[in-house]
């Protein structure tokens, strides 16, 4: 009698291919060569995926903290769907920077 745990199961695919990816590759999901290429190729892939979801990305440097801020934007409405780091984290970073400045400016 065979044990149910010993029965081989069909493996799931390692990569899920979206409709936009399949169309970009001419219907062949395995035709993309991800090992060779530049950062521009990666950004093109990200932009194509974002267009399929009607979203865009915005990269900015926060003036006060000098941190990179990445925002996911709804292309139709222009609303910010997600921001990394969040507004709260940026606010905390600004407060920490101000507090550090006050500690340094204290006279001995």
Provide the domain count of the chain. Answer: 1
Residue 49 lies in a domain: yes
Q: Say how far apart CA 100 and CA 104 lie, in whole Å.
A: 6
105: in domain = yes
| Degrees to nearest 5, angle at CA 75 with 52 and 72 | 85
In a domain, 11, yes or no: no
- pLDDT tens digits for range 55-86: 888 999 999 888 999 999 988 898 999 999 99
Domain membership flag for residue 81 = yes
Of 38, 13, 100, residue with least CA distance to 64: 100
Contact indicator for 46, 68 with CB cutoff of 8 Å: no
Q: Determine, yes or no, domain membership for 8.
A: no
Number of alpha carbons in the 13 Å side-chain half-sphere of residue 39: 0
pTM strictly above 0.85: no
pLDDT of residue 32: 47
Owning domain of residue 61: 39-108
Q: Is 19 part of any domain?
A: no
Name the β-bridge partners of 58: 71
Which residue, 42, 44, 41, 52, is CA-closest to 75?
52
């Amino acid at each position: 009698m065979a044990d149910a745990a010993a029965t081989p199961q069909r493996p799931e695919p390692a990569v899920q291919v979206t409709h936009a990816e399949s169309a970009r590759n001419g219907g062949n999901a395995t035709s993309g060569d991800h090992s060779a290429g530049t950062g521009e190729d990666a950004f093109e892939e990200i932009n194509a995926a974002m267009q399929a979801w009607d979203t865009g990305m915005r990269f900015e440097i926060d003036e006060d903290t000098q941190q990179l801020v990445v925002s996911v934007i709804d292309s139709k409405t222009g609303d910010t769907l997600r921001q990394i780091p969040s507004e709260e984290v940026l606010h905390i970073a600004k407060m920490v920077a101000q507090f550090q400045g006050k500690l340094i400016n204290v006279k001995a």
